[in-house]
Structure 1
Amino acid sequence: MDAVGFQSPLLISGTNLENPFAGYISEILAMEGYFCVEEHDLSKAPLTSDVLKDRPLTILSNVSLDEEEIETLKSYVEGGGNLIASRPPLELADLFGVKPVTGHYNLARDCYIVINDKEPLMEGFPAESLQFKGDSEVYEPKETRVLAWLSAVPYKHPNYVAVALRSYGCGRAALFSYDLGETVVTLHQGVPENASNGPCANADRSGMFKTTSLHIKVLDERQKMIPQADLHQDILVRLIRAMCDSTLPLMRVWHFPDKQPALAFINGDSDGMNLEDLTRILDLVEGYGARYTIYLMREHLPLITPKVLERLKRRGHGLGVHPWAGPRPSFKEMDEEITSITKGFKEHFGFSACSTRTHSIIWVGWVESAKYMAKNCLKMDTSFAPGRCYQEGFICGSGLPFKFMDRDGRLIDLYEQATLETDDGSFTSKTLFPPLTQEEAAAHSLDLIDKCVNKYHCVYHPYFHPLNIREEVFGTYRLEKVLEKLKELNVRTVNDEEWIKFNEARRALKVQIVEAGSGRVTYSVKASKTIEDVTFMFPPQWGNARIAHVRVDGRDSKLSLVNWEGGLEWALINLTLREGCEVRITCEYSEAR
């Protein structure tokens, strides 16, 4: 139960011109709430034994290593260190207990991983298989625990390794045969080839430049109801838990406030609506204690008079912008439209919009639209939504807010909170799927809510247009069933502004390990922004010891135990932290007598 040392976990990154997305692991760690990880950039300094000394965990992204650095990593693990590697050099294969296949069949691309549910570490994992993107070495197992197999098809597999864990010397080494960063970026954002300026523009043949085009022939339609990117990240979480729970259990900051297993974000676009339509949907949503965000086209800004705005704000609703630059806009046209509508919004209301959804989910370039949004101080987009060829589901592999990465490996300061289901997509054949009945659509929604809350722990995010709840269009039946279910499960709904503020404050937390050993770990947590009801998570076991107390600045905090993320047990506390404050969180473990 003694800690390896007092150093923080380490992420090894660097410049990789062949795959700039390897660095996305830093964003993955931030999404998963591991804020105590330090980063070492190999382009600025080499990897030495001093860099690795006393590190309870080292995560290696897909970067090039020289012979000396490879030997340094082997010695680190042999001496008791824990290593997780994303598509590491072949020279490290022995470390992971795998054997590279040689000859013509040594690589696989854009295939699947099939979860090994016979492995105790993967017990309860909420998917049978996941797509991975990019290249993977093909390995045979030698002396290793295979957590997931590599395969050309989902649900069955040959004897090749995709994810593995092995004890080596006094330490342990875990392998992702594929590049975790590249996989998650591609599942999130699709491929540049399908972008409006790519060789396969209009890939969905809708005649428009839509976000769904980016995922054509990227997302297997059979996998669309699984948040595949989020679950790749959950494998990383399981490995971190498996490696650190015996050496130094690591605290996380949960995705949602107030120990919530999930949230709901309900919104809609102003297309064709009048004030009566908006009032009707607000009355309905408020009747269930929920909140709603309306995305306004330019012509609907005048509908929101000071009196209407006061009601919206007082009752916790949100407003964003709904740009329309035409069905096939140029970069310049999209840039100008986003700039114009955000400027018009601020002139009308006296404050800036913070989120958006483009009309008809139009998108230019691979990430150019995201850059134009960020340039205009928008903080969140919701344009990645079901459309042609995908009637519903996790089209970009996630139900969590994630940031975009450009082709050079640079993060864009904009969250995507993907839309999971749509009213027009369900009740018409525009997606090339048969229209659903009201009862079928409601059943799909209730099932999706249950999965978001109890299985995947993500944001349930539908859109309902105010126009479309008119009885002569689609009516209110489905929305009422959704609201009833959310209330029954006590799922909190958020508006755009509060969800963005929570995520910005969560990401701004500064976490450091200040003491570790003798059954105790103490963290320093500094809040750069006020954050309410933030949930901190602790592994309940440290070796043979069980969590006994969590103290904040010396005072006991009430612990809650939950089983989330496919049955992983966590101990939780809630805190409200004011801007500029710093607290010490001490987690104490004791062995049963």
Structure 2
Amino acid sequence: MLLFHNSRDRRSRYSHYLAEILRCEGLIDFAEADIATLADCDLRQEDLLILPRMALSETEGTRLLTYLQAGGRLIAMLPDAHFVTRLGLKPQHRATDDGYLRIDGTHSLAAGLCPEAVQLIVPAVSWQGTGTTTATAVAHVYPTEDAPPTAPGVVHLTVGAGEAILFAYDLPHTVARLRQGNPAHVDLCYAGLDGIYRPSELFVGQLPVTQMHLPQADIHTALLARMVEVLAPRPRLWYYPRAEQRSVMIMTSDDDWSTLEQFDTLLNGLAERNAHCTFYVVPKTKLNGDLMDQWASAGHTFSVHPALEADTVRGLTVDEPQSRLVEPMLAANIQRHQAEFQRTPRTVRQHAVRWLGYVDAAQVEAKLGIHMDLNYIAVSPYLGHLCGSGRPLRFVDTDGTVIDCFQQPTHWTEECLIHPEFVFSFKWTVERAVAETGALIQRAAHEFYTPIALNSHPVSFATYSSPLIEGNWDTALDAGMIILSADDWLAWTEAREQVQISRDGTGYRVVAPVAIERLTFLLPPTPAIAPAPNRPIAIDEPTHAITQQQRWGRAYQAVTIHNLAPNQPYRLSGPVDEVLDEPN
């Protein structure tokens, strides 16, 4: 599989973000090349080409068309009108802004994917068949959520002996907007709350509250992953270590000057459920290094909760714009935390979730050694999938620059749901909050396979919110989710990202640069991967388990490798005769 870039075409600026999306979806066995090298590429060696948005030269278009006609496979994002015409479709020279995409669940290529309408935000163009090629719509574009469709949004077509899938929109750009909001809102407050600029302000006017129950970005990326599986079936690295895992709950707790007794109350609740948490520690905290060491032995982790001096001194006011304060606040707090506790922060959430610019805060965090940000938290008027996702994905700037810091959305904190006074609180009853959040947890685990991250302050848990948070924990555990800390989630995310898989004769070679306790690959239901339903690919080493798993309405064979040693190659080969119902 080969992903192209075009360093000279600004239309292609999200191509490197597209690479991040592929890796997030577990499609990791791809190479990358600039389109300028197309003439030197031996395309016969590639089972699939992925073309981001770009304007092709006539020569480049001819080379790709020849590849397709000879039996090649292509996925293209918002291909230019000239290339579309050569593939056998007729551009209508119309486009839809701020439309919706609805996957056709009756189409054989998309069966099992979420059929609910999701936002596009970016333009989607319109094509029409010409009768010169076989083309079917896998998804359709709608001008509004409830209006009739106006055009195909994703098209599958045959080209000679080959196949192509064309997206009528720029999928990575859509994902960036859904996850990161509207860059036109930078450093402005729209929600009418308390004047603090938070990431949630970037979504006001872009994200309808009615869409908050859906991980919209994850639905787009699941569609892309399915199209890859359809055209070029391959082992897919599962989101989680174990084959049976469908989601996890990421637990965080903002210190907010809670008392030691309040910390103990929260810790006791976590211990009853074998749950682990990352605590974000404020300046002038009541904690000390000895307590952190003691609680770390129980599996908890500690990072920094950057705050302003005005947050710690009653009556002190903020005399400068927030945009001038966030960068020095981050630098000073991270330096202080390291010096005071000899702990290097790797994940972060700011006090009051103060943000800077579009992704400026993430750029600062990356320079300071932070690798995962949890500031994108749903604040009124939102609850749920503010970023259209629960998955970790690196930030991307508007020029396409990928930032080496993972954006990990946080779905809620108790003070935004049930606090009786805060301006940003829904002021719901506990019963309603448990029901609303419980529904999000259930769908995350059983339908979308996306993580849920939440936050509970020790002071809040001990005084009013434990019925809500304990209800969330218990719902997660009942759904088979483990509850882990943000730092542990980052460690898994980074280890997973480093895994390499490549073709090796009739099988695949798997290498992990770091030790990993468990790693699972999903094998799509196709003869190209598994010759028969009960004869899946095996792994040559004995430390493995093979199970049948249902995901997205499809039956996959899952191979779980145990106790991977650093840089030790493992080989997926096959077939074998035995399929286990449960992993060893």
TM-score by shorter chain over 0.5? yes
Which of the residues 183, 200, 219 maps onto 1:212? 200
1:182-201 pair list within 5 angstroms: 182-196=173-187, 201=188
| Corresponding position: 1:250 with 2:234 | yes
Q: CA deviation at 1:431?
A: 6.7
Q: 1:6 maps to which residue? A: none
Q: 1:238 maps to which residue? A: 226
How well do the aligned residues superpose, as a CA RMSD in angstroms?
A: 2.2
| Corresponding position: 1:89 with 2:87 | no
Structure 1 residues 76, 316: closer, same or farther in 2, change over 3 A? same
Q: In the alignment, residue 466 of structure 2 is paired with which amino acid? A: T
Q: Is the 8 A contact 1:19 1:182 kept in 2?
A: no
Q: Deviations over 1:39-64 (max 9, x none)?
A: 1112xx33237432231111111122
| Corresponding position: 1:117 with 2:100 | no
Provide the C-alpha distance between the structure 1 equivalents of 2:252 and 2:169, rounded to a whole number of angstroms: 36
Q: In the alignment, residue 30 of structure 1 is paired with which amino acid? A: R
Secondary structure of the residue aligned to 2:124 is strand
Structure 1 residues 355, 439: closer, same or farther in 2, change over 3 A? same
Q: Is the 8 A contact 1:141 1:161 kept in 2?
A: no
Q: Deviations over 1:504-534 (max 9, x none)?
A: 1111122211224xxxxx2222222222211
Secondary structure of the residue aligned to 1:427 is coil
Q: 2:378 maps to which residue? A: 386
Q: In the alignment, residue 210 of structure 1 is paired with which amino acid? A: R
Structure 1 residues 132, 278: closer, same or farther in 2, change over 3 A? same
Structure 1 residues 556, 503: closer, same or farther in 2, change over 3 A? closer
Q: CA deviation at 1:257?
A: 1.3
Q: CA deviation at 1:435?
A: 2.0
Q: CA deviation at 1:368?
A: 0.8
Structure 1 residues 89, 570: closer, same or farther in 2, change over 3 A? farther
Structure 1 residues 358, 141: closer, same or farther in 2, change over 3 A? farther
Structure 1 residues 19, 92: closer, same or farther in 2, change over 3 A? closer
Structure 1 residues 433, 294: closer, same or farther in 2, change over 3 A? closer
Q: Deviations over 1:133-170 (max 9, x none)?
A: 32222223454111111111114433411111112211
Q: 1:5 maps to which residue? A: none
1:46-445 pair list within 5 angstroms: 46-48=37-39, 50-94=41-85, 97-102=88-93, 106-142=94-130, 143-196=134-187, 201-206=188-193, 207-244=195-232, 249-259=233-243, 260-300=245-285, 303-325=286-308, 329-390=321-382, 392-428=383-419, 434-445=426-437
Q: 2:581 maps to which residue? A: none
Q: Is the 8 A contact 1:140 1:159 kept in 2?
A: no
| Corresponding position: 1:539 with 2:524 | yes
Q: 2:313 maps to which residue? A: none
Q: 2:547 maps to which residue? A: 560
Q: Deviations over 1:25-49 (max 9, x none)?
A: 101111011111001112xx33237
Q: Is the 8 A contact 1:536 1:572 kept in 2?
A: yes
Which of the residues 457, 460, 463 maps onto 1:465? 457
Structure 1 residues 149, 589: closer, same or farther in 2, change over 3 A? farther
Q: Is the 8 A contact 2:11 2:53 kept in 1?
A: no
| Corresponding position: 1:478 with 2:464 | no
Identity of aligned residues (%): 25
Structure 1 residues 296, 99: closer, same or farther in 2, change over 3 A? same
Q: In the alignment, residue 264 of structure 1 is paired with which amino acid? A: M
Structure 1 residues 122, 559: closer, same or farther in 2, change over 3 A? same
Provide the C-alpha distance between the structure 2 equivalents of 1:267 and 1:287, rounded to a whole number of angstroms: 16
Q: Is the 8 A contact 1:557 1:573 kept in 2?
A: yes
Aligned residues: 559
Provide the C-alpha distance between the structure 1 equivalents of 2:57 and 2:104, rounded to a whole number of angstroms: 33
Q: Is the 8 A contact 1:403 1:415 kept in 2?
A: yes
Which of the residues 509, 520, 536 maps onto 1:524? 509
Q: CA deviation at 1:554?
A: 5.4
Provide the C-alpha distance between the structure 2 equivalents of 1:171 and 1:556, rounded to a whole number of angstroms: 39
Segment of structure 1 superposing worse, 421-430 or 501-510: 421-430
Provide the C-alpha distance between the structure 2 equivalents of 1:554 and 1:529, rounded to a whole number of angstroms: 18
Q: Deviations over 1:422-449 (max 9, x none)?
A: 2011114757674211111111222111
Q: 2:14 maps to which residue? A: 21
Provide the C-alpha distance between the structure 2 equivalents of 1:575 and 1:556, rounded to a whole number of angstroms: 5
Provide the C-alpha distance between the structure 2 equivalents of 1:388 and 1:304, rounded to a whole number of angstroms: 31
TM-score after normalising by structure 2: 0.91
Q: Deviations over 1:259-299 (max 9, x none)?
A: 21111111121114111111110101111111122111112
Secondary structure of the residue aligned to 1:266 is strand
Structure 1 residues 494, 193: closer, same or farther in 2, change over 3 A? same
Q: In the alignment, residue 552 of structure 1 is paired with which amino acid? A: I
Q: Is the 8 A contact 2:543 2:563 kept in 1?
A: no
Q: CA deviation at 1:305?
A: 2.5
Q: 1:512 maps to which residue? A: 502
Secondary structure of the residue aligned to 1:503 is helix
Secondary structure of the residue aligned to 1:53 is helix
Q: 1:4 maps to which residue? A: none
Q: CA deviation at 1:365?
A: 0.8
Secondary structure of the residue aligned to 1:107 is strand
Q: Deviations over 1:211-247 (max 9, x none)?
A: 0011112212211111111110000111111112xxx
Q: CA deviation at 1:452?
A: 1.2
Provide the C-alpha distance between the structure 1 equivalents of 2:394 and 2:339, rounded to a whole number of angstroms: 28
Provide the C-alpha distance between the structure 1 equivalents of 2:490 and 2:543, rounded to a whole number of angstroms: 30
Structure 1 residues 62, 113: closer, same or farther in 2, change over 3 A? same
Q: In the alignment, residue 38 of structure 1 is paired with which amino acid? A: A
Q: Is the 8 A contact 1:387 1:431 kept in 2?
A: no
Structure 1 residues 550, 123: closer, same or farther in 2, change over 3 A? closer
Q: 1:488 maps to which residue? A: 478
TM-score after normalising by structure 1: 0.90
Structure 2: any 5+ residue segments left out of the alignment?
311-317, 578-584
Segment of structure 1 superposing worse, 365-374 or 489-498: 489-498
Structure 1 residues 581, 331: closer, same or farther in 2, change over 3 A? farther
| Corresponding position: 1:447 with 2:439 | yes
Provide the C-alpha distance between the structure 1 equivalents of 2:493 and 2:88, rounded to a whole number of angstroms: 39
Q: Is the 8 A contact 1:95 1:168 kept in 2?
A: no
Q: CA deviation at 1:121?
A: 2.0
Q: Is the 8 A contact 2:105 2:115 kept in 1?
A: no
Provide the C-alpha distance between the structure 1 equivalents of 2:163 and 2:11, rounded to a whole number of angstroms: 28
Q: Deviations over 1:330-362 (max 9, x none)?
A: 545211111111111111221201111111111
Q: 2:538 maps to which residue? A: 551
Provide the C-alpha distance between the structure 2 equivalents of 1:77 and 1:14, rounded to a whole number of angstroms: 20
Structure 1: any 5+ residue segments left out of the alignment?
1-8, 517-521
Q: Is the 8 A contact 1:534 1:574 kept in 2?
A: yes
Q: CA deviation at 1:382?
A: 0.6
